[in-house]
Amino acid sequence: MKRPEEGALHFFSLCCLQAVGITLRSLIQSVDEILPSLHSSVTTEIEGTKKLLNKDLGELINKMRLAQQNSVTSLKEECQKQMLAAAHTLALDSKNLLDAVDQARVRANLAKPKPNSQDAGGGVLDE
């Protein structure tokens, strides 16, 4: 029988995972909308990154399941580290997708870099 805090952790994990999934789906849909206006030389890279994000989400789901299964064992901390590493990978690959789309939009003259944005690291385009 599960302890109450285990049930709460499971619920919290599911809510977080659902939010990540919805956000990722929204990101991919917005990329799909702009993809036809980009040069074909970058669409292959962007499509590959989208596939990688789906793989990353699957890995995060697996690591979260493993962390939940081992929440009361000696493997708890290691499983949590693996789950956080998977979440970090997903975040980095999401940023890489955004950067690739931003660069492609600049090259296609669909956007221009904001002045002094080289060090900003995100949100660097004017419409």
Going by C-beta distance under 8 Å and a sequence separation of 6 or more, which residues neighbour residue 44? none
Domains of the chain and CATH, by start: 4-109 (1.20.120.330)
Q: What is the pLDDT of residue 109?
A: 82
pLDDT digits (tens, 9 = 90+) for 57-88: 999 999 999 988 998 899 999 999 999 999 99
Helices vs strands, H then E, count in the chain: 3, 2
DSSP category for residue 37: G
C-alpha 38 chain-centroid distance: 22
Instruction: Compute the mean pLDDT over every residue in the chain, rounded to the nearest whole number.
Output: 84
